[in-house]
Structure 1
């Protein structure tokens, strides 16, 4: 399953939440997608700013919750270049969604031990996610994706979404310090990622950040779906939970319990 499809679902939720919460020039919104380092840094070190933090889970957690709701006996393994994800799956309000996390280097060791060369295997041509969902893996990808949906939902919105992305713990702390001091940062949608470059710069990646970023961009551009709003795979899945239109995503209790920390 392409986790980026669940990033598409969360993008839609984040866009609706932004429209509901950012009504004046002084309002701002901290997105929690998709980095546990950013989320926990804000929660534990900046209590005042945490009140502006989105309650959305990460695409990883959303994918596990949806899959286990649909397939009761499913065991879900998440693969990423991130070590913080191993801690995230054991947080009390998130526990049970994902059974195991393997980082890229661990997966490479498994392949080596079993004599598997992924390059020799047939490619999976499924197109499950949009360009926006696939760009979550790099810094700025969440902001890009949410902004496209906000613009589709309210093209004549007076208070436009102005994003600010920060990556690396040092930069994350700096922006939170500025917000805490009441400084004008010129943005009302703030995206933070603990690793420089975003997930592509994760500590257990197996290629350098520049190459990974290039590959993520190319993978995103290969999608036949331009925005989460255009993703029929999303609507097909949501219909299984009683949603007939995208606007219902903020009211449907069955879906919200899968997308919100609880």
Structure 2
């Protein structure tokens, strides 16, 4: 299986290249990235073949691609990959507006390629254990869930996360999606109502996007949930639990 990485803008691209190289039968052909200085640094650090144009990487006869660009550029790269008949794993969020998301869905369907968003928490053993516990009814009737996902403000190296034109927003765009996905997956339910408050509480002099938010959700099965998202942590090495959040259950 021949795989390529479209853009190294997202920090997860570095982890992907390591995992792909450890999978038997998978050939990581290389990566495409439009910034020469950044690309040369990544190529040197990881020993990867660099393509200065996304089209050149896609011309290598790939079976699949990982889209790791800035959020607002997902649509462009997904459309390129779909036209090249590549299966697609795209970083979250899918898009920063509904029109782009629907366009991506349409072109993937038109070219008969699979599209998947990167939701790695679904494959975490502890998360799977919680889902099994819920499905077996061992927690009783669930009335509410408190979700927390905090992290640090993006560093200068990945500063686009705090630029609305590239990221689509700030902490809310970055940190709501995983918990929202887990709530939908745990309960096989959709979000019915949302109330949200967003603000730049922590870095008003550094960035012009939201750095904190609180969402109150009502799911279609009647469960109420909250998602507390922020860039409130200091720049320390966080554990998986700190990075990915914590769910507290209210049940009988």
Instruction: Flag whether TM exceeds 0.5 (same fold).
Output: no
* TM-score computed with the length of structure 2 as normaliser: 0.28
Larger radius of gyration: 2
**Which has a greater percent of strand?**
2
- Larger RCO (CA within 8 A; separation ≥ 6): 1
**Which has a greater percent of helix?**
1
